[in-house]
């Protein structure tokens, strides 16, 4: 009980810290750090998505960059057409480009969710290492598709010239954009908490630990896991849309398997199955990358050593280390 | 399109296939015995190629270099087994993936630190730099035939090792029941180190042989690693036989896809577009193959412990 | 070595009293220093640093502070670093990017915000055409240039049935388009390979089957090394042509004798006879202990272009004057004659080089000119 309490305090602290950094930066007129905070919030959001599948559903997806990238491309492509004044699709229905934020988000969630449903349907027939590898394979397929098809510039990617518009808000203002990302991050965490705490969440937890037991009480594990997988991809897809807006650029590199690995690192660094873990993981990763990268061009070597140390000696991630004891299983 | 062309492409498929098999065999062996998923297998491939190139450059002999590459890869394998992998055997796959992902970063930067950023020179031995006439015209590079020979020798060697030797018996025991080998009085730590080193050596062999044909540079292991994973997943993880069949299948699909798909598209599209779409499809073909196989048999073609 | 140079530049800049009118010129270099392809970024950095060192930590008499960061060849990372340089460090000039896709991620928004960008390598068609900008200058080439020169050269050699191949990504398609723009003969075949592919057995069989009289390829990095080695064994005897990238100093050693005699196109070579080039080649060798590459020459020229403009405009304080000074390009380029076209891309001679051996060392010598005073094909789309 005490430990649960500790973790709650810790979570509030984490959330407040992520809020404090950009506010401080704003006061000191250092807009760069606001962008960094937005990046942390967005990557954490991608991690929150993966955490739902990986942490709570036990589905180790090594292909979440596919959903991140698809979300990014959905938003990027629509906004590209809006800028050019061209149509995205003529047949069977006409779909125009759009620069309305909500439309872009909706498209990102829809596309990543739909693709996740197809990938999930096939992948969830497998388990264990097979699941890890088949999700990787699907992500690779989408990566090569994006790189070689000329329609949206292939590997060169698409530059976006304007931030989308959300009624009443100036999205091109760095601080406003951060607040939007931050709000979505907290909303996604809140949703995760609700999902995990619901009857559905109990079934998912049961599917993770023992599928046979779940079947024995008359619930088929497959649809439960598939639903969670699709939800997970949708959250990560939304993060992709925000990432593309932040960078003003979308390219196949956000579909690469390195990014799948990095999203996994966010989750594991923070602590698998911890609601606020991805924030800690993403923040730590970006700070490490930036700080070490400022000192030496061999930053990847030191990053690798630190990550290895965390896996070997800090089970349960940073939150596990601070709040004590791995979670109950 | 001549019969010789098709025959040559089939040989190419076989050559790619056996090379993937050498790479995948180590991966699947380690998984079968220790239950470990090792993303750093591609790094051992790189270690083999770099040491082969370095020693071949110093001594002037490819074969001495090849020996050095094998020893270096096996040694690197033994060291990371003792320092890192050993702590991962009873962890879940997630920890294994992350730990070995970190090892990739360490190996890539470490190799660049030691050998520099520029690609190294490694060419095939002078005696093998000719081609052998093919029936129906054209020639086939002798070195590629030698690679096929190495691949077949590896397959036979592994078969004999596992079915005929004491070590093989222990490996088989380890695959079916891990506690039992402890009860048999085998020093399990030594066995694991040995198996891992054998896997690493196979990766090093593939790296050195292919390095001479392609290029020796930092990061060369990752694309091959992903292909090797596709192979063992198709074949059934842990099954050497599956790795062999999977490797040949992947070799066929990849090579024939590159050779013929754009011609297929050209029947319906203008040539420039057909080339583009053909190339795009060819690069996705093996992943498609994998998805189809797994949709049909979720544990691969030759499931282990099914 | 680089640390030392950098420290030198920094020390020189720090030790100067910060007078109001003598503020440091801040230059942010984003380039690839780790992973595959890092040798290109390292050469650009070293070439640039050499020019700063020759000036005693100054460029064009102005104190400069050069900040260098590794983009790991990732567009998002390059974009982040650019953000940091612009927003936090308030740099005046950005430079360094090796790859087109990274340049496209960084350059359009940076130059729109008023930062200068001097490209030492990547020259994607978009930035030469529709997306051209008064603050963007390319001191190397537009991406198509070297391929165009090879197309002209292959035709001039009487070749009428070329087989051409490149990876299936935008730069690869641009390469083949550029080649075809100046090549007059027929095509025996045209193939797009997978990006990063290292085994060309299937493609070589197709080339043999097509019986071309020449082969042109653009396969940068390890892809080209692999292709050349396998081509040499394949027994196909059609001569090979390509842009400098697969035959440049940094990579030749890895290709080995398979490259001997191959004609390749480049705007620079170490044997170009002018004082600036001689000083560059000699100083580079004594500083770093290796022969300079094409990329090093481009990094060096980028720094010297900046130096000439800083000197002429007396710093970056007056952006319009600095811009005009850049555009005038009054510096002694190591490649000889150099000027900017209307879209701020070079108008220059593109040479044909041949790979030769000097003692044990593979290197290039110039054997002809592919295209004289060559400008790019996109200038008309640029509204400047």
Q: What is the distance of C-alpha B95 from the center of its chain?
A: 23
pLDDT class of A325 with cuts at 50, 70, 90: low
- Mean pLDDT of all residues in A163-175: 86
Please answer yes or no on whether C233 and B138 come within 8 Å at the CB atom. Answer: no
Half-sphere exposure of A25 (CA within 13 A, CB side): 20
Interface check for A298 against chain C (CB to CB < 8 A): the answer is yes
The pLDDT confidence band at residue C20, using thresholds 50, 70 and 90, is very low
Q: pLDDT band at residue B34, thresholds of 50, 70 and 90?
A: confident
Averaged pLDDT for residues A279-308: 88
Question: B234-243 burial, b if ≥16 CB within 10 A, otherwise e?
Answer: bbbbbbbebb
CB distance from A300 to chain B under 8 Å?
yes
Tell me which chains share at least 3 CB pairs under 8 Å with chain B: A, C
Give per-residue pLDDT as tens, A62-96. 999 999 999 999 999 999 888 888 888 776 777 88
**Orientation angle between helical segments B93-115 and B41-59, nearest 10 degrees:** 20
Residues C334, C337, C340: CA angle, nearest 5 degrees:
105
Q: Which of C32, C164, C229, C289 to mutate to test the interface with B (most CBs of B within 10 A)?
A: C229
Using a CB-CB distance cutoff of 8 angstroms, which residues of chain A are in contact with residue B37?
129, 132
pLDDT at residue B82, rounded to an integer: 94
- Is pLDDT above 80 for B137? no
Does the beta-carbon distance from A156 to C87 stay under 8 Å? no
Q: Per residue in C291-306, is it b (16+ CB within 10 Å) or e — as a string?
A: bbbbbbbbbbbbbbbb
What's the mean pLDDT in C42-49?
Answer: 96
Provide the pLDDT for residue C2. 42
- The residue-averaged pLDDT of A252-265 equals 92
A159 interfaces chain C, CB cutoff of 8 Å: yes
Q: Supply the pLDDT for residue C5.
A: 44
Is it the case that residue B210 has pLDDT exceeding 90? yes
Residues in chain B with CB shorter than 8 Å from the CB of A134 are: 233, 290-291, 294
| C208 contacts on B by Cβ (under 8 Å) | 138
Q: Is the pLDDT at C9 greater than 60, yes or no?
A: no
For residues B228 and C201, is the Cβ–Cβ distance under 8 A?
no
Q: Which of A132, A148, A301 minimises the CB distance to B106?
A: A301
Contact A249 C79 (CB under 8 A): yes
Mark A32-71 as b/e (b = at least 16 C-beta within 10 Å): bbbbbbbbbbbbbbbbbbbbbbbbbbbbbbbbbbbbbbbb
Q: Which residue has the tokens 């090796």?
A: C98
Domain ranges of chain A: 20-256
Q: How many domains does chain B have?
A: 1
> C245 or A154: which carries more pLDDT confidence?
C245
- A110: pLDDT confidence band, cut at 50, 70 and 90? very high
Q: pTM for the complete prediction?
A: 0.89
| Mean pLDDT (whole number) for A207-220 | 84
Q: Which residue has the higher pLDDT, C145 or B187?
A: C145
Tell me whether residue B5 is in a domain: no
Encode pLDDT of B65-92 as tens digits. 999 999 999 999 999 999 999 999 888 8
Average pLDDT over every residue of A251-278: 91
**pLDDT value at position B183?**
72
Task: Point out the residue among A60, A134, A144 whose CB comes nearest to the CB of B94.
Answer: A60
Give the SS3 label for residue A100: strand
pLDDT at residue C344 in the model: 96
Is B73 in contact with B44 (CB distance < 8 Å)? yes
Structural domain boundaries enclosing B291: 12-127+138-296
- pLDDT above 80 for A166: yes
Kindly determine whether residue A129 and residue B291, on different chains, have CB atoms separated by under 8 Å: no
Residue C261 phi/psi, 5-degree rounding, is 85, -10
Q: What is the pLDDT of residue C23?
A: 72
Residue B242: its pLDDT value, please? 93
* Pick from A125, A140, A300: CB nearest B287: A140
Is the pLDDT score of B182 beyond 80? no
Count how many pairs of residues, chain A against chain B, have C-beta atoms within 8 Å.
122
Asked whether the predicted pLDDT for residue A46 surpasses 90, the reply is yes
* Residue B304 domain-assigned (yes or no): no
Residue B99 touches partner A, C-beta closer than 8 Å: yes
Beta carbons of B287 and A141 less than 8 Å apart? yes
**B277-301: pLDDT as tens digits:** 888 888 889 999 998 898 888 889 9
Report yes or no on B229 lying in a domain: yes
pLDDT value of residue A227: 95
Looking at the complex, report in whole angstroms how far the Cα of residue B224 sits from the nearest Cα belonging to chain A: 13
Nearest to B119 among C209, C225, C235 (CB): C225
**What's the pLDDT score for residue B128?**
87
pLDDT in tens, C50-74: 999 999 999 999 999 999 999 988 8
Residue B303 lies in a domain: no
Say what the pLDDT of residue B160 is: 92
Is pLDDT at B1 greater than 70 in this prediction?
A: no
Q: Among A123, A127, A311, whose Cβ lies nearest the Cβ of B102?
A: A311
Domain with residue B165: its CATH number is 1.10.3470
For residue A88, the model assigns a pLDDT of 81
Characterise C366 by phi-psi region: left (phi > 0), alpha (psi -120 to 50), beta (else): beta
Selecting from A126, A127, A145 the residue whose C-beta is nearest the C-beta of B280 gives A145
**What residues contact residue C42 under an 8 Å CB cut-off, 6+ apart?**
B117, C2, C33
Are B218 and C168 a contacting pair at CB < 8 A? no
Integer Cα distance of B233 and B290 in angstroms: 8
Averaged confidence pLDDT in chain B: 89
pLDDT score at A185: 96
Mean pLDDT of A168-183: 91
> What percentage of chain A exceeds 90 in pLDDT?
48
* pLDDT value at C206 more than 60: yes
Question: Residue A100 to residues A45, A166, A171, A177, B78: CA-CA distances in angstroms?
Answer: 21, 6, 11, 14, 57
Tell me the count of A-C CB pairs closer than 8 A.
81
For residue A148, list chain C residues with Cβ-Cβ distance below 8 A: 168-169, 192, 195
For residue range A220-246, list pLDDT tens digits in order.
889 999 999 999 999 999 999 999 999
CB contact under 8 Å between A134 and B37, yes or no, is no
pLDDT digits (tens, 9 = 90+) for C279-329: 999 999 999 999 999 999 999 999 999 999 999 999 999 999 999 999 999
- The per-residue pLDDT for range C331-342, each reduced to its tens digit, is 999 999 999 999
User: Which pLDDT band, with edges at 50, 70 and 90, does C6 fall under?
Assistant: very low
- Give percent of chain B with pLDDT exceeding 70: 97
Query: Is residue B4 situated within a structural domain?
Result: no
Three-state DSSP at A198 gives: coil
Instruction: Answer whether B283 sits within 8 Å of A148, measured CB to CB.
Output: yes
Does the structure show a pLDDT above 90 at A5? no
Interface touch A154/C194, C-beta < 8 Å: no
Q: Choose the weakest-confidence range: B175-189, B211-225, C10-24, C45-59.
A: C10-24
What is residue A4's predicted lDDT score, i.e. its pLDDT? 65
Residue A106: what pLDDT? 95
Residue A145, chain B, CB below 8 Å: the answer is yes
């Amino acid at each position: 009980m005490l430990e649960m309490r500790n973790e709650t305090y810790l979570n509030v602290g984490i959330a407040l810290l992520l809020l404090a950094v950009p506010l401080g930066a704003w006061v000191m007129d250092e807009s760069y750090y606001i962008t960094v905070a937005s990046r942390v919030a967005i990557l954490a959001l991608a991690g929150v998505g993966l955490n739902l599948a990986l942490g709570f559903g036990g589905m180790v997806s090594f292909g979440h960059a596919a959903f991140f990238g698809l979300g990014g491309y959905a938003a990027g492509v629509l906004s590209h057409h809006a800028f050019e004044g061209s149509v995205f699709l003529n047949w069977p229905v006409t779909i125009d480009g759009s620069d309305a934020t909500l439309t872009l988000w909706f498209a990102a969630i829809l596309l990543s969710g739909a693709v996740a449903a197809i990938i999930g349907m096939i992948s969830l027939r497998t388990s264990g290492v097979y699941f890890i590898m088949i999700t990787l394979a699907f992500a690779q397929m989408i990566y090569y598709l994006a790189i070689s098809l000329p329609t949206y510039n292939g590997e060169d990617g698409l530059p976006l010239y304007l931030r989308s518009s959300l009624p009443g808000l100036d999205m091109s203002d760095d601080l406003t954009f951060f607040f939007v990302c931050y709000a979505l991050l907290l909303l996604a965490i809140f949703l995760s908490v609700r999902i995990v705490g619901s009857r559905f969440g109990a079934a998912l937890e049961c599917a993770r630990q023992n599928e046979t037991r779940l079947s024995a009480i008359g619930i088929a594990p497959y649809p439960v896991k598939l639903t969670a997988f699709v939800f997970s991809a949708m959250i990560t897809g939304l993060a992709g849309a925000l990432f593309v807006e932040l960078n003003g650029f979308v390219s196949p590199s956000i579909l690469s398997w390195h990014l799948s690995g990095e999203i996994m690192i966010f989750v594991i660094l923070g602590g698998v199955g911890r609601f606020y873990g991805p924030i800690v993981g993403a923040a730590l990763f970006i700070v490490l990358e930036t700080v070490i990268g400022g000192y030496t061009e061999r930053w990847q070597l030191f990053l690798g050593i630190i990550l290895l140390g965390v896996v070997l000696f800090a089970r349960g991630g940073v939150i596990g280390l601070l709040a004590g004891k791995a979670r109950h299983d | 399109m001549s019969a010789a062309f098709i025959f040559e492409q089939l040989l190419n498929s076989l050559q790619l296939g056996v090379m993937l098999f050498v790479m995948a065999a180590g991966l699947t062996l380690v998984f079968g015995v220790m239950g470990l998923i090792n993303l750093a297998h591609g790094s051992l491939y790189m270690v083999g190629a770099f040491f082969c190139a370095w020693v071949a450059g110093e001594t002037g002999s490819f074969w001495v270099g090849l020996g050095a590459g094998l020893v270096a890869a096996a040694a690197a394998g033994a060291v990371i087994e003792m320092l890192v992998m050993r702590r991962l055997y009873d962890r879940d796959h997630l920890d294994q993936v992350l730990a070995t992902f970190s090892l990739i970063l360490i190996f890539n930067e470490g190799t660049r630190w030691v050998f520099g950023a520029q690609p190294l020179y490694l060419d095939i031995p002078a005696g093998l730099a000719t081609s052998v006439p093919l029936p129906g015209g054209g020639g086939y590079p002798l070195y590629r035939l030698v690679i096929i020979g190495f691949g077949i020798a590896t397959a036979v060697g592994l078969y004999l090792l596992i079915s005929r030797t004491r070590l093989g018996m222990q490996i088989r025991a380890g695959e079916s029941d891990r506690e039992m080998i402890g009860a048999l009085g085998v020093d399990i730590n030594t066995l694991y180190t040995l198996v891992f080193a054998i896997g690493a050596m196979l990766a090093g062999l593939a790296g050195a042989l292919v390095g001479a044909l392609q290029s020796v540079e930092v990061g060369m292991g990752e694309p091959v690693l992903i292909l090797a994973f596709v192979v063992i997943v198709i074949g059934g993880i842990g099954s050497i036989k599956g790795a062999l069949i999977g490797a040949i299948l992947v070799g066929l699909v990849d090579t024939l896809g590159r050779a013929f798909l754009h011609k297929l598209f050209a029947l319906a599209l203008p040539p420039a577009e057909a080339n583009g779409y053909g190339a795009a499809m060819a690069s996705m073909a093996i992943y498609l193959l994998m998805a189809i196989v797994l949709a049909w048999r979720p544990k691969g073609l030759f499931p282990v412990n099914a | 070595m680089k640390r030392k140079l950098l420290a030198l530049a920094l020390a020189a800049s720090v030790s100067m009293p910060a007078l109001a009118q003598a503020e440091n010129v801040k230059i942010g270099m984003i380039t690839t220093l780790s992973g595959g392809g890092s040798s290109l970024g390292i050469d650009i950095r070293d070439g640039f640093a050499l020019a700063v060192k020759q000036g005693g930590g100054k460029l064009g008499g102005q104190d400069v502070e050069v900040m260098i960061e590794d983009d790991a060849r990732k567009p998002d990372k390059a974009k982040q670093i650019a953000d940091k340089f612009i927003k936090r460090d308030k740099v005046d000039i950005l430079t360094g990017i090796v790859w087109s896709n990274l340049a496209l991620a960084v350059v359009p928004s940076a130059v729109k915000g008023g930062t200068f960008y001097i490209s030492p390598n990547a020259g994607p068609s978009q930035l030469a055409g529709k997306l051209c900008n008064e603050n963007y200058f390319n001191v190397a080439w537009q991406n198509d240039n070297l391929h165009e020169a090879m197309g002209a050269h292959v035709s001039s050699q009487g070749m009428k049935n070329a087989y051409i191949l490149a990876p299936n990504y935008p730069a690869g398609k641009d390469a083949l388009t550029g080649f075809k723009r100046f090549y007059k003969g027929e095509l025996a075949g045209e193939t797009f390979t997978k990006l990063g592919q290292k085994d060309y057995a299937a493609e070589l069989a197709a080339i043999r089957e097509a019986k071309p009289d020449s082969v042109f390829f653009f396969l940068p990095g390890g892809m080209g090394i692999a292709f050349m080695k396998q081509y040499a064994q394949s027994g196909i005897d059609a001569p090979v042509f390509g842009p400098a990238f697969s035959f440049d100093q940094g990579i030749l050693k890895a290709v080995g004798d398979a490259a001997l005699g191959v004609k390749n196109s480049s705007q620079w070579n170490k044997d170009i006879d002018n004082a600036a080039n001689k000083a560059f080649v000699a100083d580079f060798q004594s500083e770093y202990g290796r022969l300079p590459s094409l990329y090093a020459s481009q990094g060096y020229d980028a720094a010297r272009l900046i130096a000439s403009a800083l000197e002429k405009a007396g710093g970056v304080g007056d952006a319009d004057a600095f811009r005009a000074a850049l555009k005038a390009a009054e510096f002694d380029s190591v490649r000889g004659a150099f000027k900017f076209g209307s879209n701020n891309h070079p108008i220059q001679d593109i040479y044909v080089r041949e790979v030769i051996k000097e003692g044990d060392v593979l290197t290039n010598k110039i054997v002809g000119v592919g295209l004289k005073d060559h400008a790019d094909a996109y200038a008309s789309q640029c509204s400047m």
